[in-house]
Chain A
């Protein structure tokens, strides 16, 4: 390890910490490669309307049950009378039914995969944003004010932490999917994407807020905070101007890993029917549809599953790489993210 750091020390002149981190990250070839994979996945789902309008000529929810397509000059049914959907055609039908049809409804699997991926990624990123922002505010408040503020926040997080999160998330997801939600002036219908987004955001907050609180507790003892107080800084400047910038590397790493974690959460909820509701679809709901035909058309369940795995894997590896690059001596490991080891300074 120390041998690795040597050349860097020579070139460190004139580079900020971010420049150094970038350089360290770029040297991690595996992480860079998987960042490439993640970018490809984003481009893939962004291209959904292009593919749908120009190649497949159909939408994600359009059914083609009784239609026929021409494959290499030969007429074939999209769905056989027994209800078996057509398999992958690749470019045999000019790109139509590239991955075949999804079920007896005869929807284009490729188009659904691209649009479903939009939903999955949208939920993953949005929930990670909400979770991280909430966790930052809670962690700062608890770690900075201590006393009863800390007690209330920390105990609430403890309760959420000790729940079987998936089961309770499932309960909340299905209850809201049936009834919808009304919070003051905000009204959300049961089929809205906001329901899974809210459910996932709420239950993942403790996984980030607890480590952040621990770091804030440790940071607020440092000299630079004392110096800022001596300059007459108020609590807002102390929390957001002095302490928050020092949390940046932790936050970036957690944000990346949380997207992966939350996408798995979403896929699990949607697979069971308590997440994304029809007519919306995500990779999770596509697996539910595909699972019914697992014995004859296994690809229908395996393809969306593989997409989820690729996305989660690339985010996990990029997150690990970012952590190594931003804070080589960090104690905040993936293990802490998943709720095992707490970073130093938490136990106060």
Chain B
């Protein structure tokens, strides 16, 4: 086990390095213009561009430039230049809203994904299964930017059942916090509900053919017990792994559009505003931290998975 953890962490370090180089290339090397001018913003004054050129060392060699960038990032000194605001402060401000949105949506999609997938697998090919499959395919195909406008207009604007966008911190008023987040949670969760129910359904259909399921039936367990204790339980492990990965990706990226549509001042809408204003330092910061976060979560999920399922770590050793 220890060997697996060490190997996985070494792999993580390599990926982190690759990610940071990729981001460096994206912002400082690939674009066909002066990177200092790009970082400074749309209407930057010439002396500011000059300052940035010195701060970032754009006249030096590429490896030196990379080291300078990483120093700024690691020390939390990235700044957007017009007006001068430290990127880290704004990211810290946005984290509670982004976490609230992602955690709530995650709970909803995990619960309903498992419920619908389970119901669907009870009688494969039956009426309920076909109905739920249709719902799942529709769910996978509905983009957030259709769902949110419909929700906001119909449920918030016309029927006034929910507040019309915005975010209230949980420390201020837990009730309002909850009310403001219901629509964004559902919006963000629907796509994954469709997806998870399909994955769980096909996992369960595979598990149903296993010998131990036949044994469980043969020894006279009730159908319900067979399905929950044996089939569902063993089909859930890949779902939980998947959830870890998707949850990381939701916090670092997928939530951006939902935050923008519902006026939630999280990390995502900070990045989205930066895109609209052509401000690069915030995007650089959010992308790097987001990518680091996702890579870290991925490694964590892999290690947990190896701990739960010895075949993974033994398989790796056997492959060597």
Question: Which residues of A come within 8 Å of B, CB atoms?
Answer: 158-159, 162-168, 170-172, 174-176, 178-182, 187-188, 260, 264, 267-268, 271-274, 284, 287, 290-291, 294-295, 298, 301-302, 305-306, 308-309, 312-313, 316-317, 320, 333-335, 338, 340-341, 347-348
Closest chain A CB from B2 CB (angstroms): 23
Closest chain A CB from B312 CB (angstroms): 10
Q: A178-B38, A267-B143 are in contact. Are A168 and B23 (CB under 8 A)?
A: yes
Which residues in B have their C-beta under 8 angstroms from that of A179? 30-33, 35, 38
**Contact B295 A171, beta carbon cutoff 8 Å:** no
Classify the secondary structure of B's interface with A: helix
Q: A180-B33, A271-B145 are in contact. Are A170 and B283 (CB under 8 A)?
A: yes
Query: Of B33, B238, B249, which one neighbours A178 at CB under 8 angstroms?
Result: B33
Which residues in A have their C-beta under 8 angstroms from that of B248? 164
Of A178, A180, A309, most buried by chain B (CB within 10 Å of CB) is: A178
**Contact A168 B30, beta carbon cutoff 8 Å:** no
In the assembled complex, the Cα of A273 lies from the Cα of B315 at a distance in Å of: 45
Of A164, A187, A274, A333, most buried by chain B (CB within 10 Å of CB) is: A164
**Contact B291 A159, beta carbon cutoff 8 Å:** no
**Contact B140 A316, beta carbon cutoff 8 Å:** yes
The yes or no answer to B152 lying at the interface (CB within 8 A) is yes
Residue of A nearest to B147 (CB): A305
Of B138, B140, B238, B295, most buried by chain A (CB within 10 Å of CB) is: B140
Query: Of A158, A171, A334, which one neighbours B27 at CB under 8 angstroms?
Result: A171
The yes or no answer to B260 lying at the interface (CB within 8 A) is yes
Which residues in A have their C-beta under 8 angstroms from that of B254? 164, 166
**Contact A334 B149, beta carbon cutoff 8 Å:** no
**Contact A175 B27, beta carbon cutoff 8 Å:** yes
Q: A167-B253, A272-B256 are in contact. Are A309 and B141 (CB under 8 A)?
A: yes
Which residues in B have their C-beta under 8 angstroms from that of A284? 145
**Contact A309 B142, beta carbon cutoff 8 Å:** yes
Lowest 8 A-B CB distances belong to which pairs? Answer: A179-B31, A305-B146, A167-B253, A182-B32, A179-B33, A313-B141, A298-B153, A164-B253
Query: Of B32, B257, B290, which one neighbours A272 at CB under 8 angstroms?
Result: B257
In the assembled complex, the Cα of A187 lies from the Cα of B295 at a distance in Å of: 33
**Contact A159 B15, beta carbon cutoff 8 Å:** yes
Closest chain B CB from A206 CB (angstroms): 13
The yes or no answer to B58 lying at the interface (CB within 8 A) is no
Q: A167-B287, A302-B146 are in contact. Are A175 and B137 (CB under 8 A)?
A: no
Q: A174-B280, A305-B145, A308-B143 are in contact. Are A341 and B202 (CB under 8 A)?
A: yes
Which residues in B have their C-beta under 8 angstroms from that of A268? 143, 145, 257
Query: Of A174, A294, A313, A333, which one neighbours B138 at CB under 8 angstroms?
Result: A313
Beyond A305-B146, A316-B137, A335-B195, 5 additional pairs, beta carbon < 8 A: A306-B146, A308-B145, A317-B137, A335-B198, A340-B242
Annotate B234-252 by CB proximity to A: 1 below 8 A, 0 otherwise: 0000100010000011001
Which residues in A have their C-beta under 8 angstroms from that of B319? 348
Which residues in A have their C-beta under 8 angstroms from that of B242? 340
Query: Of B35, B150, B253, which one neighbours A166 at CB under 8 angstroms?
Result: B253
**Contact A175 B149, beta carbon cutoff 8 Å:** no
Closest chain A CB from B264 CB (angstroms): 14
Total A-B Cβ pairs within 8 A: 173
The yes or no answer to B227 lying at the interface (CB within 8 A) is no
In the assembled complex, the Cα of A347 lies from the Cα of B272 at a distance in Å of: 39
Q: A313-B137, A340-B199 are in contact. Are A167 and B153 (CB under 8 A)?
A: no
Q: A166-B253, A308-B143 are in contact. Are A176 and B30 (CB under 8 A)?
A: yes
**Contact B280 A175, beta carbon cutoff 8 Å:** yes
Closest chain A CB from B123 CB (angstroms): 15
**Contact B257 A174, beta carbon cutoff 8 Å:** no
**Contact B30 A302, beta carbon cutoff 8 Å:** no
Annotate B36-70 by CB proximity to A: 1 below 8 A, 0 otherwise: 00100000000000000000000000000000000
Query: Of B23, B278, B291, which one neighbours A174 at CB under 8 angstroms?
Result: B278
**Contact B22 A168, beta carbon cutoff 8 Å:** yes
A-B contact pairs, 22 of them (CB 8 A): A159-B15, A166-B249, A166-B254, A175-B27, A179-B38, A180-B32, A264-B143, A267-B143, A268-B145, A290-B149, A294-B149, A294-B157, A298-B157, A309-B143, A312-B141, A313-B137, A316-B137, A316-B140, A334-B140, A335-B198, A335-B199, A341-B199
Which residues in B have their C-beta under 8 angstroms from that of A181? 30-32
Which residues in B have their C-beta under 8 angstroms from that of A338? 195
The yes or no answer to B26 lying at the interface (CB within 8 A) is yes
Query: Of A163, A295, A302, which one neighbours B291 at CB under 8 angstroms?
Result: A163
Of B30, B38, B276, most buried by chain A (CB within 10 Å of CB) is: B30
**Contact A171 B253, beta carbon cutoff 8 Å:** no
